[in-house]
Amino acid sequence: MYVVNGKEYPCCTSVTMGIIGGKWKTVILYHLIEGTLRYNELRKKMGCVTERTLSLQLKQLQEDGVVQRKVHTTKPPLKVEYSLTPFGKTLIPLLQAIADWGDSVVEKYAN
C-alpha cells in the first residue's frame, strides 16, 4: 500500500492514475507543456469541456502539486494563468509517450 498526500493507493500505477487519471487531466497537462496559458486559452484549446469540469480538474491538479495558478490583480480584468509546476514537468515524458501512442492508434485504426 502506498500513501501519497494522505491518499492510499494499492500500487504505484494507481498513484500515477490518481494524479493524471480522468478524461480531461491529461488533455490539460498536454496543452500546458507548451507553456503558461490563461483559463480561456486553455478552454478554447479543449473545445467541448464545460467550465465546471475544467475548473474542477484544474483545482485537483493544483491540489496534487502538478499545476500552479497565478492570479494577476494589478488591473481589471482579472487575469488567471496556469502552468506546470517543476513536479508537473516531470510528467512531460509520460504525457508525450501517451500522445505518441494515441497518434499511432489513429494512424493504424482510424476509419
Handedness of CA 88, 89, 93, 97 (dihedral sign): positive
Residue holding cell 490583480? 73
The predicted pLDDT at position 80 comes to 92
CATH T-level assignment (fold) for domain 24-109: Arc Repressor Mutant, subunit A (1.10.10)
Dist. CA 73–CA 76, nearest whole Å = 7
**Contact (CB, 8 A) for 88 and 29:** yes
Write the pLDDT tens digit of every residue in 9-47. Answer: 899 999 999 999 988 999 999 999 999 999 999 999 998
> Among 29, 60, 61, which Cα is nearest to 45's?
29
Most confident of the ranges 64-68, 72-76, 77-81, 106-110: 64-68
Residue with cell 475544467: 54
Is 0.75 topped by the overall pTM? yes
Q: Kindly state the cell numbers that stand for 79.
A: 487575469
**Cα four-point dihedral sign 56, 57, 62, 63:** positive
Q: Domain limits of the chain?
A: 24-109
